[in-house]
A = this chain, B = another copy of it.
Amino acid sequence: MRIGELAKRAGTTTRALRFYESQGLLEAQRTSNGYREYDDHDLRLVREIQSLQAVGMSLEDTRPFVACLRAGHESGDSCPDSREVYQRKLAEVDECLERLQAVREFLLARLAFQDPCLVAEPKEFQCS
Contact = CB atoms under 8 A, between A and B. Distances in A.
A23 interface: no
Contact of A125 (B56, B86, B100): B56
A106 interface: yes
Number of copies of this chain in the oligomer?
2
Interface string A61-77: 00000000000000101
Contacts of A90: 104, 107-108, 111
Nearest to A108: B90
A29 interface: no
Residues of A contacting B: mostly: helix
A108 B122 CA distance: 27
Interface size range of chain A in the complex: 35 or more
A28 to B, nearest CB: 25
A89 B111 CA distance: 11
Given A75-B116, A111-B86, A127-B128, A55 B103 contact: yes
Interface of A: 51, 54-56, 75, 77-78, 83, 86-87, 89-90, 93-94, 96-97, 100-101, 103-104, 106-108, 110-111, 114, 116, 121-128
